[in-house]
Amino acid sequence: MQSRSQWKQSMTATLSEPTAPLLSAVLNGCEVGMIVLDRDQRIVLWNAWMAKASGIPHEEALGTTLDALFPQLPGPRVQQAVQNALHHGLAALLSQTLHKAPFPLYRTPAERKEGLRMQQMVIIKPIELPHVPRHCLIQITDVTSTAEREQLLRQQAQTMQTLAEECRQGELRIRAILDSALDGIITMDEHGIVETYNPAAARVFGYSAEDVIGQGLHCLVPELQGVQTHLIGRRREVTGRRQDGTEFPMELAVSEMHLGQRRLSVGVVRDITEPKQAEKELIQAREAALEAARVKSAFLANMSHEIRTPMNGVLGMLSLLLSTDLTSEQRQYIETAHSSGDILLTLLNDILDLSKIEAERLVLEHIPFDVRLTVENVVDLLAEHAYGKGVELACLISPDVPRIVCGDPTRLRQVLMNLLSNAVKFTEQGEVVVRVTLAATHETTVALQFEVCDTGIGMSLEAQERIFDAFTQADGSTTRKYGGTGLGLAITRHLVTYMGGGLEVESTPGHGSTFRFTVLLGQAAEPAPVEAPLTGLQGRRILVVDSHPTTRLVLQRLLTTWGVQHGSAADSSEALQELNAAATAGAAYDLALLNLQLPTMDGLQLARTIKAHPTLTGVCLVLVTPFGQRGEGEAARAAGIQGYLTKPVRQTQLHDCLLAVLGLRETGVGQLITRHTLVEAEAQRRGRILLAEDNTINQRVALGLLKKLGYRADVVSNGREAVEALAQQSYDLILMDCQMPELDGFAATAEIRQREGDQRHTLIMAMTANAMQGDRERCLAAGMDDYMSKPITLDVLRDKLVLWLPAELEATSEEEAGATSTLAVVTSPAPSPELPDPLDRERVETVRELLEEAFVETIEAFLQHTSTQLALLHEAIAHNDGIAVSHIAHTLKGSSGNIGATRLSALCEQLMHASKVALPAEVGQHVAHLEMEFTRVHAALAHICHVATTSATTS
């Protein structure tokens, strides 16, 4: 084995003079391009790398110049460098950065095809050779990958910079947002430690960022300790604490934020001290407003009573004044005052009503009542006014309208009253018709449509829009001409709305108006028993003679319902014609219904003419008149008329009258069938009523009312008798006075109920003088079915009876408008000139009517009774027995009120109240006044009785 030095020695020769093959191998094996140019720039060396990269083979390259091979060598740089090298021996470096690819060289054929040159670094050096001029060596290195790498680096750097810029912008933006936000924004780490804290937060809390960052959130919001995960996603109110230690209400909304792996939270805080304060003030204001409203409502409720009372007093006094002896001048003044007072009272009522409605204090009753009755009653009230003006008044109730419904009869009456009175008021001629139809039936309710049509002055479209506004009238001038407050319609509309409907109006100026509304009413708990169909008049032939088409229509409809064949005539001559024609045809009329007021010949005259006629004399005649004038009945009878009715005619009344007249009922021959006779006949069919009342006067009055309504009743004087009477026979209804001796109403009821057990349940209705809250409940609790407060009015009694006595559904009683010939009208006696009239003349008259023959007797009984009571009064005072005094006064109040001694009644009431607890000092005075008043009453009544006795007539 050779040593290194030996090897070296042997190689020296080779090394110093490497062989050509070795050199050639090296040149063609190396990975750089080698070109050698001679002094004339001819290529003397062209290695394999060059051939491959340039695509120019060795043979082709040798001997040529670079220019020849590469005609488009860019720039002079290469040339210059070659020159420098050859002539000056200066070496040159051509960097890729400045020259890219001076020579057209390619790394792969593919790149060649695409024209992608190799990136080159070119070195041009002189090389010295012995014995020849300097040569030039060109070495070319492929720096493509380096270049690419650097390019990539640059691109990445650029991207980095762009991203960095974006990031910076983003950060700036976020910073700007945080800085400019009006709400405080605080970010916290997983443990609730504050990481960022914006200027707004600093403003809220007073702490600077340095103070807070790194601390827990609880420094700012003490109630929060640690991480409150339940806070996240919610906004809630907490208490914040400022740097200065003050606490304040704060709204905190926390959300979660994910930043890479970290879960942070962002809290948005808002100082809500001001909004909270505003809220508090708002609540306070609201409370105050509500309280004010409450106070106002309470005030209204109180005022309601307070206002009406003195008004009634004023009006009452004025009325009383009117019944005294006055000069015509005085009378004129007082009448003016009275009518003004009336208007004022109406206005007050309307205002109070409206206030109540608007304060939503109005509560509708929900009690069963008779629709038909209610409507007919209202019509009745306006009959006199209407007929007085010559305006016809009619009422059409469709047969399918149920009799009994549940609702508020008072309010319905109010509405109808308002609309009807308006209609009558604004109609000078023609008619006013009320129509009631069934609009819809539901499960538990019915919808009834009411229409009030008139042929009055009508109103324009603008007026129609205005009229429902409170305080406005259709036309300002109407106030002066027609009077009224303008509130009525507003209230009416409200009421209708309350009752589940809407009020509409149609009108044409000069042609009249129609007011229409529908109300929702409850169906009666027990369906109204089906009326026995009125078949009595089936097949009869009846002629209707009336100049008003509407009246004719109304009557004809009714007659059709009853199966009557009817004809009509508008005046006397037509009537005669019709009657004759029918008789000739063999289909004579059984009955003719004549209106008193006919053109040319009036009803009476026509009656006489008919009766005088031989063929017609068998025709029954019934006269219908608007009023009930004195002596009319007699005149009618004299004219041969068999029936006499006043308008507006009630349905069943008409039916019964026709029936009676046609002789199918036994009511006696030669008697004039009037409503009263009909009533009497009816009375038998009504229910059995027992009246338990200890006070004679009250007994009489009650009986009178009942009779007027067509009922008869048995009377007992105390509870014990009532119980015994019931044991003897059954009654349908007991009217039970609450305060009675022996056994009072409550105890009697209790006993009756006990005795009844499960069996027959007798209806008991209480009559009580106390109209206080809780009375009803007491009565009902005692076992009674209903109650009425004394003094009992006709309306209430009627309503109650209709309600509770199902067998008898129709009351055919009338108001006192229009007396009959059975009673004489009592003229007013001359009162004492100095003092006001001790009697309410109207009331007395009512009583008289009710009691008829028993009137005088009753009065005498009253006078006697009162004297006794007064004596007892003195005794009680002597014994200092306040309770007894009160009790006596109470009794006297009732009876004197009933009889029409209103002043006496008022005085008794005063005494009653004053001595309830203890005898007042001035009790003597009270009694003195009482006695004085009674003396006057006594005188007045005596006078009346005397007159009555002397002028009583027979029926």
Partner 1 sequence: MLNLTELQRDTITELLNIGMGRAAAALSEMVSEEVALSVPSVEVLSRRDAAVLVREKGCERIVAVLQEFSGFFWGDTMLVFPEDKSLDLVHSLIKDTFPLDIMTEMEQEALMEVGNITLNACIGSIANFLQSEVSSSLPSLLRGPCEVIFGDKNGIQVDHEVVMFLRMDFALHARDMQGCVVFLVDSDAMGMLREHIDQFLSHF
- Contact footprint for partner 1 (CB under 8 A): 84, 88-98, 121, 123, 125-126, 143, 146-147, 150-151, 153-155, 157-158
Q: Three-state SS for 949? A: helix
Which residue lies nearer to partner 1 by CB, 28 or 84?
84
Nearer to partner 1, 158 or 584 (CB): 158
**Cβ atoms of residues 522 and 407 within 8 Å:** yes
Three-class SS of residue 789?
strand
Closest CA to 686 of 716, 714, 718, 713: 713
Tokens of 163: 């991203």
Whose tokens are 């970010």? That residue is: 187
Given a contact cutoff of 8 angstroms between Cβ atoms, the answer to whether 583 and 616 are in contact is yes
**What would the 3-class secondary structure string for 53-78 be?**
HHCCCHHHHCCCEHHHHCCCCCCCHH
Nearer to partner 1, 97 or 339 (CB): 97
Pick from 792, 686, 685: nearest CA to 738: 792
Beta strand segments in 462-536, E: 503-508, 512-523
> Which DSSP state fits 103?
S
Q: How far is the CB of 74 from partner 1 (least distance, A)?
A: 15
8-state DSSP, 853 = T
Residue among 119 and 905 whose Cβ is closer to partner 1 = 119
Please, what is the minimum distance in Å from the beta carbon of residue 15 to partner 1? 24
Q: What b/e string do you get for 91-129 counting C-beta neighbours within 10 Å, with b at 16 or more?
A: ebebebeebebbbbbbbeeeebeeeebbbbbbbbbbeee
Give the span between the Cα atoms of 798 and 411, in whole angstroms. Answer: 17
Q: Does the CA dihedral 859-863-866-868 come out positive or negative? A: negative
The dihedral sign for the CA sequence 248, 253, 254, 258: negative
Nearest to partner 1 of 155, 577 (CB atom) = 155
Which residues are CB-contacts of 527 (< 8 A; sequence separation ≥ 6)?
none
What does the block give as tokens for 279? Answer: 């809220």
Minimum Å gap between C-beta 84 and partner 1 is 6
Residues in a beta bridge with 367 = 407
In the complex, the smallest distance separating the C-beta of residue 149 from partner 1, rounded to whole angstroms, is: 9
Total count of residues recorded for the chain = 955
Minimum CB distance to partner 1 smaller for 147 or for 212? 147
Could you tell me the smallest distance in angstroms from the CB atom of residue 136 to partner 1?
12
| Minimum CB distance to partner 1 smaller for 135 or for 552 | 135
Which is nearer to partner 1, 158 or 880 (by Cβ)? 158
Q: How far is the CB of 96 from partner 1 (least distance, A)?
A: 6
Q: Decide whether 68 or 93 has the Cβ nearer to partner 1.
A: 93
d(CA 404, CA 368): 6
Q: Where would I find the H helices in 323-370?
A: 328-358
CB of 236 to partner 1, least distance (A): 52
Please say which residue, 123 or 870, places its beta carbon nearer to partner 1: 123
Q: Strands (DSSP E) along 336-492, which ranges? A: 367-370, 391-397, 404-407, 430-441, 445-454
The whole-angstrom separation of Cα 173 and Cα 216 is 27
Nearer to partner 1, 90 or 300 (CB): 90
In this complex, which beta carbon is closest to partner 1, that of residue 125 or of residue 943?
A: 125
Nearer to partner 1, 149 or 294 (CB): 149
Return d(Cα 364, Cα 367) in angstroms, integer: 9
How many whole angstroms from its chain centre is CA 424?
31
Contacts of 590 (CB under 8 A, 6+ apart): 540, 541, 542, 619, 620, 662
The least CB distance from residue 89 to partner 1, in Å, is 3
In whole angstroms, the minimum distance from the beta carbon of 90 to partner 1 comes to: 5
Residue 33 Cβ vs partner 1, minimum distance, rounded to whole Å: 16
Q: How far is the CB of 30 from partner 1 (least distance, A)?
A: 18
First to last CA, the chain: 181
Instruction: Give whole-number Cα distances, 171 to 175, 202, 544, 727, in Å.
Output: 6, 20, 103, 104
- Please state the closest distance from residue 165 (CB atom) to partner 1, in A: 13
Nearest Cα to Cα of residue 184 among 212, 205, 215, 170: 205
- The least CB distance from residue 146 to partner 1, in Å, is 6
* Nearer residue to partner 1 within complex by CB, 85 or 763: 85
In the complex, minimum distance from the CB of residue 278 to partner 1, in angstroms, rounded to a whole number:
59
**Interatomic CA distance for residues 489 and 465, integer angstroms:** 12
CB of residue 77 to partner 1, shortest distance in Å: 9
Rounded Cα distance between 199 and 182, Å, is 9
Which of 725, 723, 733, 720 is closest to 753 using CA atoms? 723
CB-based contacts of 947, cutoff 8 Å, min separation 6: 826, 827, 829
Judged by beta carbon, residue 147 or residue 383, the one nearer partner 1 is 147
Least separation, in Å, of the C-beta of 114 and partner 1?
21
3-class secondary structure, 433: strand
**What distance in Å separates the CA atoms of residue 270 and residue 204, rounded to the nearest whole number?**
8
- Which residue, 154 or 235, has its beta carbon nearer to partner 1? 154
Please say whether the beta carbons of 673 and 660 come within 8 A: yes
CB of 88 to partner 1, least distance (A): 5
- Cα–chain center distance at 868: 58
Instruction: Indicate the residue among 154 and 761 with the shorter CB distance to partner 1.
Output: 154
